[in-house]
């Protein structure tokens, strides 16, 4: 029985990911989850008491996976500069991924404090990794530089998501160049 329940829970989370990546947080409704999974709406409530609870669990499950991808890419890099590049490129590489799109939709939405805290903690882990690399590169304020760098990454993510005129590769190159050389390019 427990195995069946965990399979249904996984199916609900997967449906939530799809709904979020297709239509953002407005698309994530209990009727839609019921329809996607073939469960009765009352069953959906047995697993999650609210949309926020679904979002919170997705954060718990998906953010660490996403952060681990970025972390692994950075670990493979052998210089501080290569780590910064890996940090930027890996995040942009994940843009087409449903998990990542769901995470972006979640980040943009109105969340309760618990979910926001989890996102902050996961993001904090990413930022901590890049702070160290930026420190090695000689930044006087590596923490501030890390925050600004994440802003560049977020802008590049949005640009790719919008299907901008530039191809994703050149958006990534521009973001990396900006990260490594500042605006002097």
pLDDT tens figures, 137-161: 999 999 999 989 988 998 898 888 7
For residue 163 the two structure tokens come to: 């299907």
What pTM was computed for the model?
A: 0.76
Q: What is the DSSP string of the chain?
A: -HHHHHHHHHHHHHHHHHHHHHHHHHH--HHHHHHHHT--HHHHHHH-SSHHHHHHHHHHHHHHHHHHHHHHHHHH--SHHHHHHHHHHHHHHGGGSHHHHHHHHHHHS---HHHHHHHHHHHHHHHHHHHHHHHHTT-SSHHHHHHHHHHHHHHHHHHHHTT-SS-HHHHHHHHHHHHHHGGG-
Amino acid 61: pLDDT: 84
Q: Where are the domains of the chain?
A: 1-48, 52-183
Amino acid 178: pLDDT: 92
1-48 and 52-183 share one CATH topology? no
Amino acid 74: pLDDT: 94
Those residues of the chain that have pLDDT short of 50 are none
Amino acid 111: pLDDT: 66
Amino acid 73: pLDDT: 95
Describe the crossing of helices 98-108 and 142-161 by its angle, rounded to 10 degrees.
110
**CA-closest candidate to residue 62, choices 112, 129, 115:** 115
- The fold adopted by the segment(s) 52-183 is Tetracycline Repressor; domain 2 (1.10.357)
Amino acid 24: pLDDT: 78
Domain boundaries 1-48, CATH class: mainly alpha
């Amino acid at each position: 029985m427990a195995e069946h329940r965990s399979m249904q829970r996984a199916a609900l989370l997967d449906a939530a990911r799809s709904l979020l990546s297709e239509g953002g947080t407005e698309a994530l409704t209990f009727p839609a989850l019921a329809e996607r999974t073939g469960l009765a709406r009352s069953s959906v409530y047995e697993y999650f008491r609210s949309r926020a609870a679904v979002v919170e669990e997705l954060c718990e499950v998906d953010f660490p996976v996403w952060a681990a991808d970025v972390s692994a890419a950075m670990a493979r890099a052998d210089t501080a500069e290569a780590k910064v590049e890996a940090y930027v490129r890996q995040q942009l590489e994940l843009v087409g991924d449903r998990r990542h799109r769901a995470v972006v939709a979640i980040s943009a939405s109105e969340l309760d404090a618990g979910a926001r805290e989890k996102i902050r903690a996961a993001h904090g882990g990413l930022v901590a990794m890049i702070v160290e690399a930026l420190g090695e590169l000689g930044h006087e304020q590596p923490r501030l530089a890390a925050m600004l760098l994440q802003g560049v990454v977020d802008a590049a993510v949005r640009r790719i998501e919008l299907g901008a005129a530039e191809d994703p590769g050149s958006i990534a190159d521009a973001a990396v160049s900006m990260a490594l050389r500042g605006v002097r390019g």
